[in-house]
Amino acid sequence: MGVFAAVFASLALLETLAPRRQPALSRRDRWPGEAAIFVVCAVLGRLVLPVGLAGVALFADRLGFGVFNLVKLPAWGVGLAAFVLLDLSVWAQHVLMHRVPLLWRMHRVHHSDPHIDVMTALRFHPAETLVSLFWKGAVVFVFGIPAWAAFIFEVALNAFAQFNHANWKLSPRADSLLRKLVVTPDMHRVHHSVERHEVNRNFGFCLSVWDRLFRLYKERPDAGHEGMTIGQTDWRGAGDQAPLPLLMQPLKSPGRQSSTGRGASGS
């Protein structure tokens, strides 16, 4: 929580001092609703899996279950392999969230934000949070990932998600150098485009290699970062950003053509 608070405060300040884009809606219109569903997700996660991923890892270790409990590697090798494996699993889950209609309805809450900034990194529907929790828990258990490695990855994933959603204007040179290894704000912003052929690109959160490897990488939006439209064609008003509309959105269908992985309604 200390790392989360420090990263959030730093990026929120940088967004204020050096914004990449002007927001479609103000923070006052967007942030209260997004903060509310973040709190719901946090509480739900603690109720469903109070021990977190580290607890799942300790359980697997007690049973002697999983690849890392059977294959002996040095600590640095275990940490590196676990990080890469977990990052790939999160990337794969993200792709499935766009490909499977039911999962897209959950994930669409994240993509319906008409602006993208550090708070967007926390804008996930509770149903998606549960899916993600069980998915990562299964990976940790099956591979026997140590508790310390799972903890480090969770901290890093949270920090990187905030970083690559930030509305922060990095220099072109810094962006070019960083995205060779990690996902930058300009790289991830393409993924939040209203255009279907762009929203299905750049799925990464931490490492940028997976999108390049699976040919899902797009360097920049066709309309440019200042000219692109972010979000969905529906749910763009200030009233759509309140807690209840956000929680109910998966039950609704878009009123007109919107950008999804599989068509107007995500199915």
- 137-190 confidence digits (pLDDT tens): 999 999 999 999 999 999 999 999 999 999 999 999 999 999 999 999 999 999
* Residues in contact with 89: Cβ distance below 8 Å, sequence separation at least 6, in sequence order: 135, 136, 139
Element (H or E) spanning 58, and its range?
helix 52-63
pLDDT band at 105 (very low <50, low <70, confident <90, very high): very high
For residue 138, give the amino acid letter: A
The CA-based angle 36-41-43, given to 5 degrees, is: 95
User: CA–CA separation, 20 vs 242, rounded Å?
Assistant: 25
pLDDT at 261 over 60: no
The average pLDDT across 237-263 equals 78
Phi, psi of 191 (to 5 degrees): -65, -20
Average pLDDT estimate for 51-68: 84
The runs of H, that is alpha helices, within 219-263 are 224-227, 243-248
Contacts of 112 (CB under 8 A, 6+ apart): 231, 232, 234, 235, 236, 240, 249
Q: Does 263 have pLDDT greater than 50?
A: no
Tokens 């209260």 label which residue? Answer: 32
Whether 97 has a pLDDT exceeding 90, the answer reads yes
C-alpha span between 176 and 179 (Å, rounded):
6
User: Residue 42 phi/psi, 5° resolution?
Assistant: -65, -45
Half-sphere exposure for 94 (CA within 13 Å, toward CB): 24
Least reliable range by pLDDT among 61-65, 78-82, 140-144:
61-65
User: Which band of pLDDT confidence, cut at 50, 70 and 90, is reported for residue 262?
Assistant: very low
Q: Is the pLDDT of residue 67 over 90?
A: no
pLDDT for 212: 96
pLDDT of the residue at 50: 61
**What is the DSSP secondary structure assignment for residue 251, as one 8-state letter?**
G
pLDDT the model gives residue 257: 39
Among 52-56, 130-134, 145-149, 162-166, which range has the highest average pLDDT?
162-166
Task: Output the average pLDDT for the chain.
Answer: 91
- Under a CB-based contact definition with an 8 Å cutoff, are residues 118 and 30 in contact? no
Q: Measuring CA to CA, how many Å separate 71 from each of 60, 62, 65, 84, 126?
A: 14, 15, 11, 17, 36
CA distance 45 to 52: 8
CA 154 – CA 259 distance, rounded (Å): 30
